[in-house]
Amino acid sequence: MKNLKLLSVVAIFIFAIFVFSSCEKEDALDASSDDLSDIELSEDAFELTEIEEASNFISEMKSDEKTGFTCMTITIHANENGAFWPHSATLDFGSENCTAPSGHTYRGKIHVTQTNYWYLQGATRTTTFEDFYVDDYKIEGTKVLTNNGLNNDLNISFTRTITGGKITTPDGTAFITHNSTRTRELVEGVLTHTHLDDVFNITGNESGSTWNGNTYTKTITVPLRKAVACKFPESGKVEFVINNQEPIILDYGDGTCDAKATLTRGDEVKEIILGEKFKAKKE
């Protein structure tokens, strides 16, 4: 059903950070690798792909049995005036860790408010967190997803903003901050009845601080091409500026679906392998 497809097109990234394969001596890029990993963690943690899928119940009226979270309780809040929209609910994972289908654990509450049916232009979905943890990392902030409708190329796009984002380590001794805006334009696959062939162009920027307190900005300078069927972006460039130092450029490549990418700072170029891991604070 086409409407159901549009409900889930914004949930395309999973937890992914940099794993560096080079064993060369310490250099500027090596010294920045932890900061880059922290930045990617802060971005990806807020994707919460499974949570996005679960929150689609607001417009689909799903039951908790259909979300895959057997230990999650959904409470739908009625409007005092009896109107259906805006529609709000609480996703309660309980006070003990709840294991998701992916193997990640969740606890705490997510509050979701949606202004209209998700396939309609202008509809927004606002998510906030109450004592919410993923793998014992506390997640805070406000996430707003907006359906922008069709652009000049007749492609539908969605914008996600995060304000006041914060991820705190299990022991509470360090945290990452995060604010960002990202727009995803669906450029391929809109005419099919599966989202598996969808391809997005992604633009946007981000700012915040890493575990060790370094400040950063992150800007997509060449739109990222991200296919649902491919784990990582196939092409595009991202510029990182850490503590106002010389920029680092991440290049995802020429359009091939693989885990290869390059980092460049000045004259220094390093090939990297993109991997999947939820990065803990470095001891």
Cα separation, 75 vs 91, in Å, equals 7
* Residue 114 domain flag: yes
Token couple for 231: 């784990």
Residue 61: exposed, middle, or buried by beta-carbon count in 10 A (0-12, 13-18, 19+)? exposed
109: Cβ contacts below 8 Å, ≥ 6 apart: 90, 91, 92, 93, 129, 130, 131, 132
CA distances from 23 to 35, 87, 129, 245, 272 (A): 18, 52, 40, 24, 11
* Residue 242 domain flag: no
Q: How many helices (H) and strands (E) does the chain have?
A: 5, 15
Token couple for 123: 């509809």
* Residue 130 domain flag: yes
- Three-class SS of residue 125? strand
**41 lies in which domain range?**
2-213
Q: How many structural domains comprise the chain? A: 1
Task: Return the pLDDT at 62.
Answer: 44
State the DSSP string of 34-47. Answer: HHHHHHHHHHHHTT
* Residues facing residue 142 across a β-bridge: 128, 163
* Residue 253 domain flag: no
User: pLDDT truncated to tens, each residue of the chain (283 aa)?
Assistant: 333 333 332 222 222 222 233 333 345 566 566 677 767 766 666 665 445 545 554 444 444 444 556 778 888 888 888 898 998 889 898 999 988 777 888 899 999 899 998 889 999 999 999 999 988 999 999 999 999 999 999 999 999 999 999 999 899 999 999 999 999 999 998 788 777 888 999 999 999 998 888 999 999 999 999 998 998 899 999 999 999 999 999 999 999 999 889 999 999 998 888 864 333 333 3
Task: Return the pLDDT at 74.
Answer: 84
Which amino acid type is present at position 67? Answer: T
Instruction: Residue 131: name the closest of 108, 147, 161 by CA.
Output: 108
Task: Return the pLDDT at 17.
Answer: 25
Task: Return the pLDDT at 68.
Answer: 57
* Residue 107 domain flag: yes
Task: Return the pLDDT at 44.
Answer: 64
* Residue 13 domain flag: yes
Residue 87: exposed, middle, or buried by beta-carbon count in 10 A (0-12, 13-18, 19+)? buried
* Residue 257 domain flag: no
Q: Is the dihedral of CA 235, 237, 44, 24 positive or negative?
A: positive
* Residue 265 domain flag: no
Tokens 């930045």 map to which residue?
39
Token couple for 191: 């005419």
Residue 238: exposed, middle, or buried by beta-carbon count in 10 A (0-12, 13-18, 19+)? buried
Task: Return the pLDDT at 27.
Answer: 57
Instruction: Residue 8: name the closest of 45, 43, 49, 42 by CA.
Output: 49
Token couple for 209: 């601080």
